[in-house]
Homo-oligomer: A and B are copies of this chain.
Amino acid sequence: MADSTTKPNIDQQVFSFEEGDGKNKKLLGGKGANLCEMTQIGLRVPPGFVISTAACLDYLANPDKGLPSEILEQVRTHMAQIETQTGKQFGGATNPLLVSVRSGAAMSMPGMMDTILNLGLNETTLTGLIAQTQNERFGYDAYRRFIQLFGQVALGLNAKLFDKILDSVKEEAGVKHDVGLSAQHLRSVASMYLDLIQRETGKAFPSDPMEQLEIAIKAVFNSWMGRRAVDYRRQFNITPEQANGTAVNIVAMVFGNLGEDSATGVGFTRYPDTGENRMYGEYLTNAQGEDVVAGIRTPKPIDAMQDEMPGMYQQLVDLRNRLEKHYHEVQDFEFTIEKGHLYCLQTRNAKMNATAMVHTSVEMVREGMITKEASLLRINPDLLEQLLFPHLDPAAKATPLARGLAASPGAAVGHAVFDADRAEKLGRAKQKVILVREETKPEDIHGFFASEGILTARGGKTSHAAVVARGMGKPCVAGAEGINVDIAQRKAFVGNTTISEGDLITLDGTTGDVYLGEVPLKEASFPQELITLLSWADDAAKLKVHANADTPEDSEKAVKFGAQGIGLCRTERMFNGTDRLPIVVEMILAEDASTRQTAIDQLLPIQRADFKGIFIAMGERPVTIRLLDPPIHEFLPSRQQLEEELVHLEHLRATVHGTNILSDALEVLYRTADTHPHAERIADPRLVEEIIEKKTRMLKKVNILQEVNPMLGHRGVRLGITFPEIYSMQIRAIMEAAAECQKAGHKVQPEIMVPQVCTGQELIRVKSIFDRVQQAVEAHYNVQLQIKFGSMLEVVRACIRAGSLAETAEFFSFGTNDLTQATFSFSREDAENKFLPLYHTNGILQHNPFEVLDQSGVGKIMELAVGWATASRPDIKIGICGEHGGHPASIDFCHKIGLSYVSCSGPRVPIARLAAAHAALK
C-alpha cells in the first residue's frame, strides 16, 4: 500500500534525443520529434532533449505555480547527460556548456514562438568561452546577443530599448554595421544591457544558468497562449484539439564561427525550383546563421565546398543521401560545421513549387525510392493550380496599379474594353481584350467568351463575374474598388491614372493585382510528368472526375485536362450568345403559344448544333446536360436599364430624322430587340419607334416576371412544367444531335438532367416528354438512343425524397451551390456581402460554406440522400457538380459517402483527379 504522503509517480515528461519517439509529434512537437529521429538514425546532431507538450499543458493549467519540481528534476538530469556527452559544464568556467532553447509545437507555426541562443552565459562562463575560442569579440558578441534575446523573449522587454543602446554605441564608435564594433564596444553594450534589465525589471539579470534555463522554459510555454500564437491558430483554423501546447527543445550550442574549419549553411537534397536530382544549398565559412540573415556576407553555393572543404563536402553528400534514404522525401536541412565536425541541426520536408513536386514525385517512383501511392499523397492537390493557369513572369517585377479580389486564378493581358458587345466585336477581330465593368450581369456573357480576362470594380468572390470566370477558367479580378469605371466616357480612373478603351492592361487573378501595360506572362505548363502522375491518380481513385463545360471549346479543353466526362453542361449559357439572345427574348415576350413556338423552333437547330459539337469533342465519355435552369427574367435587361434606355430612346425619337448613321448607343440598344442583326442600319424614325415598342414590351414583361426571391422562384423544372415547350425543344435538340452523331458513326453518351426538382411528380412529367420525344426521334432517324434521365439534387426536399425520385431518375447530381443556400437559408449574394465575413471573423463558421462543403449540415443531407437513393435503386449513379466538386476536402467527403463522380471547372480537373486519388488512398 502506498503511503498517503508518497508523491504520485508522474509520467516521463522530458526525453533525450536518444530516447524520444521520433513519430510522436503530438508529445514532442515537430521539431523535437525530428531531432530525436535524426539522432536515432545516426546523424550527428548536437546533444539535447525535449520537454514534452504535456508538460506545457500541465504548466499552463496553473502558470502561477511555476514549473513543477518533477519537471525541473528531469531537466537537471538531462542537462547532466548533455554535460557528459559534450564534456562541457553548464555554468563551467573553463569549458562551459551553452544551449539553445526553442519552442516546437505539433503543427508547424513558423515565427510564432521565439528562440533563445547561447543560454548559460554569464560573467564566469563568458571568460571560459573566450579562453576556449581565443576570440574575445566572438565571446562578447555572443554575450550581448544572449542578454538581448533573453531580455526580449524571456523577460518581455521591448526590442527598441536594446536597439537604442546599440545605436548609441555605434554612433559613438562611428560605425554603421554591428560588424564594425570591436570587442570592447560589445563588452560595453553587454554591460549597458545588464543595467537596462536591472532598471526595467527591478531585478538583476539572472546569472545562474539553471535559473536562466527555468525562466526560458516558462517563457516558451507562456508564448503558446501569447497573442501572436492565438491569432495564428485562429487565422489558420487550428482547433484546440489539434493545438495541444508546445514542446521545448534544449540543445547544446555548436558554433560555425570558430574559424575557417567552421561553417554554417542550408541545403536541399534536390533542386527546389525544378526538382532536379542534385543537392542545392548555400554556406558561409566561419559564420553563424545570423550572419546569413544580416546579409553582409554573401553565402556561397554548396558546390563551392567541393573545392574549399572537400572532406566536409563528402560528409554533406553522405548526410544528404542518408536523409533521403530515411525520409523518402526531399529534405530541407540546416547544418553547422564546428571545427571540422558536421552537425545536422534540423531537417524537414522541403517546400517546393508544383513543377518540382511533380518532377520529384515521378522521378522518385522511377528511382524506386517511393511508391506511386506515396508519390500522389505527397502533393497537395491545390498546389497544381500553379501549373494549370498562366501566371506573371516572376522576373518581371511590375508594380500593380490597383488591387482587387483574386476571384479566378490565372493571368491575362489585353486591351481594356468597357462593354460586352465591344469585347465581342474586337474578340472576333482576334484582338486580345480584357472586359472592364463596374459589375457584370448575365447579359454580358458573350463578352466573357471573347475576353482574356475580366476586371470589375464591384462585387465579391462570388459575384456574377467571379463565378462565371471561374467556370470558364478565365482570370478575373473582382471588386477592385480603387477603379472608377465611366462607361459613357469609355474610361476608367485609378487615382490620377486613366485607362482609356484600348489601353493594354494585365490582370493577375491569382493575386488580385491589376497592372497598366503588358506584363510578360508564363503560360500554363502541363508537363509530361503531370500527365504521368495523374494517370497514376486515376488508377488509384474511385471517384471519376468530370468537368463542367458548356461549349465544344470548353469540352475540348476538359478532355485535355483529363476529364472523364462532362458532369454539368448548362444549356442556358447557350441562350446568351448574340445570335440566340434575341430569339430567347422573343420566346419570353410571346403572348401566345404559337408565337412562343416560333421562337423555340428557331432555337432548336442552334442548340442541336451546340450539342453535336460537344458530343463529338467528348467522344464516348458521358455528357450530362442540364435543362434550362435560371428564371427567364435573367435573359432580359434589368428594369432600371430598360427605363434608362427608354428615356434615351425618347430623346432619339426627337432628334433622329433619316440620318443614315446608327449611333453606337442605338446599336447597343438594338441588340436584344432584334432577331436579325445587320452589319449596318439606317436610324430612321420607324426603326426607333420599333425599338421603343419592343423595349416597352420588355419592360412590361420584366415587371410581370419580377420576383421577391428569384433564387427560390419560377425557375428550373418549374419553368419546364409551366412552359413544357422549352424543355421539349431542349430534349429534342439533345436527342437529334445524338441521333445525327450516331448516324455519322460517333459513339455518344448523353444524359439529360432536370434542375430544381423537389418532388417525384415533376420528374415524371418531364420524363413523359423525354419518352415521347425519344420515340419520335428514334423513328425519324431510325436509331436506338441510349440516353440516361436524371435529376439534380439541389433542393432540400429532393434530397429527402431521393428514394422516391430514384424510381424515375437513373442518376443524380448534387448541386451543392443551391443546396448550401437552401440548407443555411443564406442567399449567397447577400450573405457574402453582408454577414459571412463577420461570421468568419467571429468563428461562428470555420469556413465559407460556399467554398468548403459544410459536411455536418449539407453533407449530412447528402449522406442521407445517398442512402435513400441507393436503397431505392442500387445501381444509381450519383455525382456532384458545382464549385465544391473541385475542392479537395469536399472531394474527400464525396468519396466517403460513396459518390460515383465529381464535376468541376476544366482547369480544376487535374486538381480534382489528384484529390480523388488522395481520398481513396488515405
Contact = CB atoms under 8 A, between A and B. Distances in A.
A827 B713 contact: yes
A562 to B, nearest CB: 34
Given A761-B844, A796-B861, A797-B824, A834 B712 contact: no
A745 B693 CA distance: 72
B860 A829 contact: no
A854 B797 CA distance: 10
Contacts of A835: 714, 718, 721-722
B857 A756 contact: no
Contact of A707 (B714, B758, B800, B830): B830
Contacts of A718: 834-835, 839
Given A801-B856, A838-B722, A709 B824 contact: no
A361 interface: no
Interface stretch (A1-9, A337-345, A815-823): A815-823
B762 A844 contact: yes
A825 B818 contact: yes
Interface in A821-874: 821-827, 829-831, 834-835, 838-839, 842-845, 854, 856-858, 860-861
Interface string A358-375: 000000000000000000
A293 interface: no
A758 B824 contact: yes
A758 B857 contact: yes
A319 B827 CA distance: 67
A845 B759 contact: yes
Nearest to A713: B830
A821 B854 CA distance: 21
Given A796-B796, A830-B713, A842 B721 contact: yes
A765 interface: yes
Interface string A602-646: 000000000000000000000000000000000000000000000
Contacts of A825: 711-712, 756, 758, 794-797, 818, 822
A372 to B, nearest CB: 39
A10 interface: no
A758 B823 CA distance: 8
B708 A826 contact: no
A712 B826 contact: yes
Contacts of A838: 721-722
A717 to B, nearest CB: 10
B824 A795 contact: yes
Interface in A701-741: 707-714, 718, 721-722
Nearest to A715: B825
Contact of A712 (B765, B830, B858): B830
Contacts of A857: 758-759, 796-797, 800-801
A134 to B, nearest CB: 63
B714 A712 contact: no
Given A721-B835, A797-B857, A823-B800, A843 B711 contact: no
Contacts of A821: 712
A827 B721 CA distance: 17
Contacts of A831: 712-714
B796 A759 contact: no
Contacts of A827: 707-713
A688 to B, nearest CB: 27
A800 B712 contact: no
A825 to B, nearest CB: 4
A835 B715 CA distance: 10
Contacts of A818: 825
From A801, A825, A854, name the one whose CB has the most chain B CB atoms within 10 angstroms.
A825
A710 B714 CA distance: 16
A427 B56 CA distance: 71
A830 B800 contact: no
A712 B827 CA distance: 5
A822 B797 CA distance: 9
Interface string A789-815: 000001111001100100000000000
Contact of A710 (B708, B756, B795, B839): B708
A765 B844 contact: yes
B761 A843 contact: yes
A618 to B, nearest CB: 30
Contact of A709 (B711, B756, B758): B711
B845 A761 contact: yes
A829 B709 contact: yes
A758 B827 CA distance: 13
A711 B713 contact: no
A862 to B, nearest CB: 11
A636 to B, nearest CB: 16
A714 B837 CA distance: 12
Contacts of A710: 708-709, 827, 830
A765 B844 CA distance: 9
Contacts of A861: 796, 800
A157 B821 CA distance: 59
A628 to B, nearest CB: 14
Contact of A708 (B822, B830, B858, B860): B830
Contacts of A800: 823, 856-857, 860-861
A860 to B, nearest CB: 5
A843 to B, nearest CB: 7
Interface in A642-669: none
A57 to B, nearest CB: 24
Given A708-B711, A713-B831, A830-B714, A823 B842 contact: no
Contacts of A856: 800-801, 804
B712 A712 contact: yes
A834 B721 contact: no
Interface string A257-283: 000000000000000000000000000
24 contacts: A707-B827, A708-B829, A709-B711, A710-B827, A711-B712, A712-B830, A713-B830, A714-B831, A722-B834, A759-B845, A759-B857, A761-B843, A765-B842, A795-B823, A795-B825, A796-B796, A796-B823, A796-B825, A797-B824, A797-B858, A800-B823, A800-B860, A818-B825, A822-B822
Given A708-B827, A721-B844, 18 more contacts: A708-B710, A709-B709, A709-B827, A710-B827, A711-B825, A713-B834, A714-B835, A721-B838, A722-B834, A758-B823, A759-B857, A762-B844, A765-B842, A797-B824, A797-B857, A800-B856, A818-B825, A822-B823
Considering the complex of A and B, which 6 residue pairs feature the smallest CB-CB distances, nearest first? A709-B827, A712-B827, A797-B857, A713-B830, A761-B844, A714-B834
